Amino acid sequence: MAVCGQATSILTAHFYFDLDLPWMALIGVLTATVFSNHWFQDSQNDTSEKSAGRLATVIVVDLLLLTLVLHFTGGIHNPFVGFYLLLIAVGAMTLGSRALVLVLSTGLAGLLSLAIWFEPFRGKESVVTDGRLVYPLFLGTWIFSLILIGGCIAFFLHRMNESLRLRDLALAKAEKRIIEANRYQSLATLAAGVAHELGSPLGTIAVASKDLIRDLARTGADIVTQEDAKLIRSEVDRCRTILKRLDRDSTRATGEALQPCTIQELSDRLNEFLPPERIARLAISDRTGGREVTTSVQAILQSLVVLIENACEADPSGGKIDLVARIGDNRDLIFQVIDSGRGITEAERLRIGEPFYTTKKDQSRMGLGLFLIQTLTSNLGGSCTLFPNACGGTCATLIIPLRPNPIRDP
């Protein structure tokens, strides 16, 4: 911008106003401006400290080059002398205190030198009087220079504010991810502690129930009593399985290796985590065409289990739960779990995903399922959202970015 503006001004002064200018000196200054700016542009990958030092250097060099241009074109009487203000404003917005003092000192020294040593204007009497531009021409050019200076400062401030806004957004997102990761780590630690503390008493109950079943069978107790003892043992085993999964999977799913799989394989593995009555209500629609995808299998299974269980509890009438899987336009794996329950209100939708918040009437539930899902999916670059379904009920959408398969996606 500086080179183009100066070149345009010089050509206009010479060809339109017939001013006699020292061409060789001005071309040399413009060439030096080009090289100094290219030198600074090439140094942008340096460390921040070096880059700040180079920025201060290039602004000082631009001030010196501007001083040379004005020296050969009227000195302090050149209407474009106001461009000192532009360079000082840029320095004030980007430099530290010491560098700014250097810039101000250079600008002040340049102005003082232009007031004493300069080449007066030479040209026709209708344009130049006593080495100065005639007043109407000076006034018009001075106003034009102020407009240019104001436009450049406004443009620079806009770019700077936009950069600051983007930086603040990035910092806010990073802070949110850190907070969610810390919450998840705290819950994971709590889950591991609970699993450890409950493991011992459940082990004792399992041993005692096994002895009880054997004693009842030996003494010939009635069938109902034996069945009750077997039920106790099976429920204890189920609790131990849940605790193992809580201790192992809930704390490690975010770090698992990506695995290739199909939607059919994921559907089959849901049988390991859901009881038969939940599986019976599930209607799975695979719209991926049987495509094999590379993704975080354990995280998806954990998330789907929570969403399906929530959908079943939201519709106690026993209606069908739709599970739809498809590939999105952005190479995302998208799951939708749709129920026919009461749906959710806007106030509930805004709070869903907060830790320990639940909409269930059973207040013994901790309200951590959706929070864990959102933490898992966020760590994978995805998302989980819930919205009221147009036909009633709720639609939960789980989006997981896919990783390319090196064999099938060249």
Where are the chain's structural domains?
Answer: 2-133, 187-254, 257-401
270 neighbors 301 (Cβ within 8 angstroms): yes
Mean pLDDT of 337-358: 76
> Mean pLDDT, the chain, as a whole number?
81
DSSP 45-85: TS-HHHHHHHHHHHHHHHHHHHHHHHHHTTGGG-GGGGHHH
At residue 113, the pLDDT reads 92
pLDDT 10s digits, 205-247: 888 888 888 888 888 888 888 888 888 888 888 787 766 655 5
Cβ contact 304:337 at 8 Å: yes
CA distance 123 to 134: 11
State the DSSP H helix or E strand holding residue 323, giving kind and residue range, or none if neither. Answer: strand 321-327
Of 44, 43, 38, 87, nearest to 64 by C-alpha is 87
pLDDT of residue 105: 93
d(CA 308, CA 269): 14
| 272-281 contacts at long range (C-beta below 8 A, 24 or more positions apart) | 273/245, 273/301, 273/305, 274/305, 274/308, 274/309, 278/308, 278/309, 278/312, 281/312, 281/318, 281/319, 281/320, 281/321
3-state secondary structure of 291: coil
* Structure tokens that stand for 23 in this block: 């061409």
Strand order in the sheet with 321-327: 282-286, 321-327, 332-338, 394-401, 383-388
Give the pair of three-digit tokens for residue 352.
Answer: 């869903």
Architecture of domain 257-401: 2-Layer Sandwich (3.30)
**Has residue 368 got a pLDDT over 70?**
no
Q: Which value, in Å, is the radius of gyration of the alpha carbons in the chain?
A: 37
Residue 362 has pLDDT above 80, yes or no: no
At residue 223, the pLDDT reads 85
